[in-house]
């Protein structure tokens, strides 16, 4: 597990992307630098309760998250965070996950 989620940021116009693009959709240059987004706000949540072809399935929580200074991404939620919650982001492999930010 690594802290934050890796995104790709256009060096020319600063737009952040996830997943990776070949050209920036704003300025159409191809010079990207790796960046990381550490936090985001949960916008919508779903629970995947049934999946075709799976007989032994444990429900998973997914959320659409507006990252801070980055794109909207879909993450796996590791807790009961709901819409409006500020969450910390982390990666497992290439997949983004999140959980509520602990109180200071």
Residues that bind other proteins (CB under 8 A): 18-19, 25, 43-54, 60, 62-64, 71-76, 92-97
Closest CA to 101 of 83, 93, 89, 91: 89
> Considering beta carbons, is residue 18 or 39 the nearer one to other proteins?
18
User: How many Å apart are CA 40 and CA 96, to the nearest integer?
Assistant: 11
Contact 44, 64 (CB under 8 A): yes
Q: Pick the closer one to other proteins by CB: 24 or 39.
A: 24
Least Å distance, CB 72 to other proteins, is 7
CB of 80 to other proteins, least distance (A): 13
Q: How far is the CB of 57 from other proteins (least distance, A)?
A: 8
Q: Which residues sit opposite 40 in a β-bridge?
A: 67, 87
């Amino acid at each position: 597990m690594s802290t934050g989620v890796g995104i790709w940021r256009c060096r020319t116009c600063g737009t952040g992307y996830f997943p990776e693009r070949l050209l920036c959709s704003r300025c159409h240059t191809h010079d990207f630098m790796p960046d990381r987004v550490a936090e985001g706000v949960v916008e919508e949540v779903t629970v995947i309760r049934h999946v075709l072809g799976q007989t032994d399935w444990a429900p998973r929580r997914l959320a659409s998250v507006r990252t801070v200074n980055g794109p909207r991404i879909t993450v796996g939620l590791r807790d009961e965070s709901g819409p409006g919650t500020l969450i910390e982001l982390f990666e497992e492999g290439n997949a983004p996950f999140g959980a509520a930010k602990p109180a200071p």
